Amino acid sequence: MSLAAEIKGIVVEGVSSVLQHSEFKTWLEDQEDLTDGHIAINNSVLFRESLKTTKSDHFLCVPVKAKGECDYDRVCLASIIKFNGKFTHVSAKDKKTGIGKFDPALAAELGSFGRIPLILIGSISDNVRVETQLGHELFNTVVLDPTQKEIVSIGDGILTIRDAEDEEAIWDALERAMSDAKLLQPPLPLDLQQPFAKALKELRSESHAVVSIPKPGDKTTTKGLLDEIIYVLDGQIADYSKSLAKCKQDSRNSEDFNNVLRISYNFSSDATKILHLLMSLCDLKPVLCWCTVAQWFALSEAFQKLPWSKSTTKPSLSAYHSMIGGARNKSFHNLFPFSKTLKVPMAGFPLEAISLTFFSEYSGRSNANKFEYHDQALIEAFTEFTRAGERFVPFSFWNKNLDVMSTTVELLRTTSSALRLLSRVR
């Protein structure tokens, strides 16, 4: 089977999955006087906040008969069409909308897919050595070597470390190494502390791993960047599921519920970034959208089922993050026991005026115009108090959020598989 035929099979399967979904059947029942023509699927199912790309003007579609019977195998592409819903019907009498054959469009997409998207499946090699000067009588150079088994090793005026993150652990390991080698008894000299800390900071700044993009035509099976992300998310979802199962609606201050909030917040922050990236990729490389149409649709459905999204046409990633952030603030970020803004009526308070300055020289950066009054510094000290934004979230949200997280990871998994397939384009 050719690569194009294999990809087309995946697209047909995805379109078939979407158009057999209960959501499509419900939409179909609401359509009146459905005539012969085509059913098109929207290629952008989430709100497009903060995206710099423009969505593709090609939409997957299939022929439909008057009774709503779809011919999934005859997938094609609709263009010169605008709609905001998940589906639309293009009448056979519509002369404005263009209906194009899928195979030539797929061939064109494969020919222009390029190499940049394959960064997501590139293999990561964490073996880059970097070094910096320490400039101390004990050690002249510090080397960061991620392949080293020991935390530290010493020799010939060179200190080699495995990583540069935990300064205290490295310092303690160095003390032990110097003692074991009978070079210096603890403690290490005080004048080593400052250059040591400076060197580690420089190594943290310079350290990096290398991502190797698959070569054209390679059938790569090595775990890639996106797979590493999926692995971590799978673990987080497993922890989330366990903690959620232990939570009860009346135990929101429990350690398990705090874990649910923590994982949700971290997920919403990072998921927003990766989904924005994938949306941009789908805009610029529509074939990637075609290969993952079913997973994007499933994610849209999972978002739509969240309690807060019922009033919106498309799910909003920023609203999702804000919702979880507000719930997290309610539990973590407000130490003082005030859930409302406090206002103090100041009628009768003697705020004696001291001076009014205006018509000051314009500097372009600051304005010297100001009104000064008695006890101004004290009033300004009171106004420093704020509280983090809060939002009540029904407990059902957290159960449905598990589906959002799972479908997001499934989208990433399918995207990774699609990219591996597309990497075979020569």
Q: Is residue 361 part of a domain?
A: no
Q: What is the pLDDT of residue 309?
A: 47
Q: Mean pLDDT across the chain, nearest whole number?
A: 88
Torsion angles phi and psi, residue 153, rounded to 5: -140, 150
Please list, in sequence order, all residues whose beta carbon lies within 8 angstroms of the beta carbon of residue 168, skipping any fewer than 6 positions away. Answer: none
343: in domain: no
Query: What pLDDT is attached to residue 247?
Result: 86
116, 150, 174: which is the final residue of a domain?
116
pLDDT for 311: 47
User: Does residue 408 share a domain with residue 318?
Assistant: yes
Q: Give the chain's radius of gyration (CA, Å).
A: 30
**pLDDT tens-digit readout, 260-273:** 989 999 999 998 89
User: In this structure, are 153 and 203 located in the same domain?
Assistant: yes
Q: Which residue has the higher pLDDT, 387 or 373?
A: 373
175 compared with 327, residue with greater pLDDT:
175
Give the separation between CA 411 and CA 289, rounded to whole angstroms: 11
Residue-wise pLDDT for 68-114, tens only, equals 788 889 999 999 998 888 999 998 888 899 999 999 999 999 999 99
- Percent of the chain that is helix, strand, coil (3-state, to 5): 45, 15, 40
pLDDT at 331 exceeding the cut of 70: no
17 with 95, same domain? yes
Q: How many CB atoms lie within 10 A of CB 88?
A: 20
283-321 pLDDT per residue, tens: 999 999 999 999 999 999 999 898 864 445 567 888 888
Is 217 inside any structural domain? no
pLDDT tens digits for range 186-216: 999 999 999 999 999 999 999 999 999 988 7
Look up tokens 């960047």; give the residue.
Answer: 225
pLDDT given at position 165:
93
Instruction: Take residue 20 and report the two structure tokens written for it.
Output: 């057999």
Q: Are residues 305 and 399 both part of a single domain? A: yes
pLDDT tens figures, 404-416: 999 999 999 999 9
Euclidean distance between CA atoms 199 and 206, whole angstroms: 11
Among 33-42, 122-131, 164-173, the range scoring the smallest mean pLDDT is: 33-42
Q: Are residues 275 and 413 in the same domain?
A: yes
Residues 290 and 406 in one domain: yes
Residues 261 and 175 in one domain: no
Domain boundaries, position 28 = 3-116
- Whether 134 maps to a domain, the answer reads yes
Q: What percent of the chain has pLDDT over 70?
A: 92
pLDDT at 388: 60
CA 147 to chain centroid: 29
d(CA 316, CA 299): 12
**SS3 state at 155:** strand
Same domain, 198 and 250: no
User: Phi/psi zone of residue 258: left (φ > 0), alpha (ψ -120 to 50 degrees), beta?
Assistant: alpha
Q: Which of 89-98, 226-235, 287-296, 322-331 has the lowest mean pLDDT?
A: 322-331
DSSP string for 171-226 = HHHHHHHHHHTTS-PSSPPGGGHHHHHHHHHHHHHH---EEEPPPTT----S--HH
**Of 243-257, 350-364, 407-421, which has the strongest mean pLDDT?**
407-421
Residue 370 within a domain: no
Paired residues of 70 in beta bridges:
64
Query: Nearest to residue 136, comparing CAs of 189, 182, 178, 89?
Result: 189
Residue whose C-alpha is closest to residue 413's, from 278, 268, 217: 278
pLDDT band at 181 (very low <50, low <70, confident <90, very high): very high
**Residue 178 CA to its chain's centroid (Å):** 44
Per the domain annotation, does 372 fall within a domain?
A: no
Out of 208, 226, 252, a domain closes at: 208
With 70 as the cut, is the pLDDT of residue 249 above it?
A: no
C-alpha to C-alpha distances, 118 to 184, 216, 233, 322, 358, nearest whole angstrom:
50, 10, 20, 31, 60
Number of domains composing the chain? 3
Boundary residue ending a domain (51, 81, 116): 116
Q: Does one domain contain both 283 and 316?
A: yes
pLDDT category of residue 356 using cuts at 50, 70 and 90: confident
pLDDT greater than 60 at residue 253: no
**348 or 38, higher pLDDT:** 38
Q: What is the value of pTM for the model shown?
A: 0.84
Measured between alpha carbons, how far is 322 from 345 in angstroms, rounded to an integer?
A: 32
Q: What's residue 40's pLDDT?
A: 95
Whole-Å CA distances, 30 to 81, 242, 250, 376: 21, 40, 41, 64
Residue with tokens 């314009």: 362
The string of pLDDT tens digits covering residues 106-127 is: 999 999 999 999 999 999 999 9
The whole-number pLDDT of residue 368 equals 77
Domain co-membership, 112 together with 134: no
Q: Do residues 286 and 404 share a domain?
A: yes
Q: Give the integer Cα–Cα distance in Å for 214 and 114.
A: 12
Residues 266 and 157 in one domain: no
Please name the residue ranges forming H helices in 220-338: 225-246, 255-284, 286-291, 293-304, 317-332
Are residues 159 and 142 in contact, defined by beta-carbon separation less than 8 angstroms? Answer: yes
For residues 131 and 143, is the Cβ–Cβ distance under 8 A?
yes
Q: What percent of the chain has pLDDT over 90?
A: 59
